[in-house]
């Protein structure tokens, strides 16, 4: 009877979290999949079952493929750089340096700023003729350039903003992991005459692999859920050069009012994220925990 009470007590404690998880995660995903097989209701015409027509339209949609390609380039350009910069900053501020509290605050400040505010700040930096970057490049003798209005630089400009904002957030996890390490490891390495680089490469970085895996999963999710910066800074332009997958879903669903097609696009996004997450845990889990 006592064991049954313990089980009941445990499930009652878990019940609120389970209800919220089902209502706001699992049910919307299933409902989205269901709606992706229907047409969009318009006026007096109700939605009707169309099977895989939305997915066939998706395959023939050049803007979808452009957005997917842009998102892949965006992820490849921001994730490694954000993680590397976060690790570098964490190692720096975790050392015995003066003013490391101020440095931690400076590195973490972009993270706590609202995304809309960050986008507007960088929008001013990139403004042609008057922006901060234009003033610096003019002072160096370079010609004026429309950074967000050029297809060759617009996506790269969004990458810079993302790295600036996210690196400080990832740094916090690395700082926590570094502080959890035993100082005896560094003392033993110093006695053996190991250099700092050798100690980092052979001891510190391998012990940080669980944190790196966690940060990597979050970085990939962040790379595929960016909307705010695109809306404020480029609106997907010029010529869809900065149209990312979630922004394209937002446009289809709320600007062109085609929620059925947007549901199909959302399912593709969920499948992509799920496949990447499974691949990460399958190929990195054993290496991460040395099993």
139, 135, 88, 69: CA torsion to nearest 10: -120
**Number of helical (H) and strand (E) elements in the chain, helices listed first:** 15, 0
Name 275's Cβ contacts closer than 8 Å, sequence gap at least 6: none
State residue 289's pLDDT score. 54
pLDDT score, position 10: 86
Q: What is the pLDDT of residue 98?
A: 80
* CATH no., domain 66-289: 1.10.3720.10
The answer to whether 136 touches 181, Cβ cutoff 8 Å, is no
38, 260 contact by CB (below 8 A): yes
Domain boundaries, the chain: 66-289
Contacts of 123 (CB under 8 A, 6+ apart): 148, 232, 233
pLDDT of residue 129: 83
- CA 166-265-150 angle, to 5 degrees, is 55
Query: What is the pLDDT, as a whole number, of residue 288?
Result: 64
How many whole angstroms separate alpha carbon 179 and alpha carbon 148? 40
List, in order, residues 6 or more apart from 93 with CB less than 8 Å away: 100, 103, 104, 107, 171, 175
- Tens digit of pLDDT per residue, the chain (291 long)? 577 888 888 888 999 999 999 998 889 889 999 999 999 888 778 888 898 999 999 999 999 999 999 999 999 999 999 999 999 999 888 877 787 788 888 888 888 888 888 888 898 899 888 888 888 888 888 888 889 988 989 999 999 999 999 999 999 999 999 988 888 887 888 888 888 888 888 888 888 888 998 899 889 988 998 888 899 899 988 889 999 999 999 999 988 889 999 999 999 999 988 888 888 777 776 666 544
Question: Prior bond to 238 cis, omega within 30?
Answer: yes
pLDDT at 104: 84
């Amino acid at each position: 009877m006592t064991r049954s009470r313990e089980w009941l007590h445990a499930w009652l404690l878990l019940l609120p979290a389970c209800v919220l998880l089902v209502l706001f995660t699992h049910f919307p995903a299933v409902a989205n999949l269901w709606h992706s097989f229907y047409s969009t209701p318009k006026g007096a015409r109700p939605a009707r079952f169309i099977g895989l027509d939305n997915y066939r339209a998706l395959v023939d949609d050049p803007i979808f493929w452009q957005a997917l390609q842009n998102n892949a380039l965006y992820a490849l350009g921001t994730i490694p750089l954000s993680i590397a910069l976060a690790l570098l900053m964490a190692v720096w501020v975790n050392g015995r340096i003066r003013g490391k509290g101020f440095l931690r605050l400076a590195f973490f400040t972009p993270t706590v700023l609202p995304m809309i505010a960050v986008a507007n700040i960088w929008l001013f930096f990139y403004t042609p003729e008057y922006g901060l970057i234009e003033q610096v490049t003019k002072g160096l003798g370079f010609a004026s350039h429309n950074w967000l209005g050029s297809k060759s630089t617009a996506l790269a400009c969004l990458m810079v903003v993302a790295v600036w904002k996210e690196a400080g957030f990832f740094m916090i996890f690395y700082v926590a992991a570094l502080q959890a390490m035993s100082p005896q490891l560094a003392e033993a390495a110093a006695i053996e005459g190991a250099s700092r680089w050798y100690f980092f490469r052979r001891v510190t970085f391998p012990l940080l692999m669980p944190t790196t895996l966690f940060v990597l999963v979050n970085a990939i999710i962040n790379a595929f859920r960016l909307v705010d910066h695109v809306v404020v800074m480029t609106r997907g332009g010029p010529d869809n050069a900065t149209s990312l997958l979630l922004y394209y879903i937002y446009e289809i669903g709320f600007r062109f009012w085609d929620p059925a097609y947007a549901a199909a696009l959302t399912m593709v996004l969920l499948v992509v994220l799920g496949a990447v997450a499974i691949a990460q845990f399958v190929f990195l889990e054993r290496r991460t925990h040395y099993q």
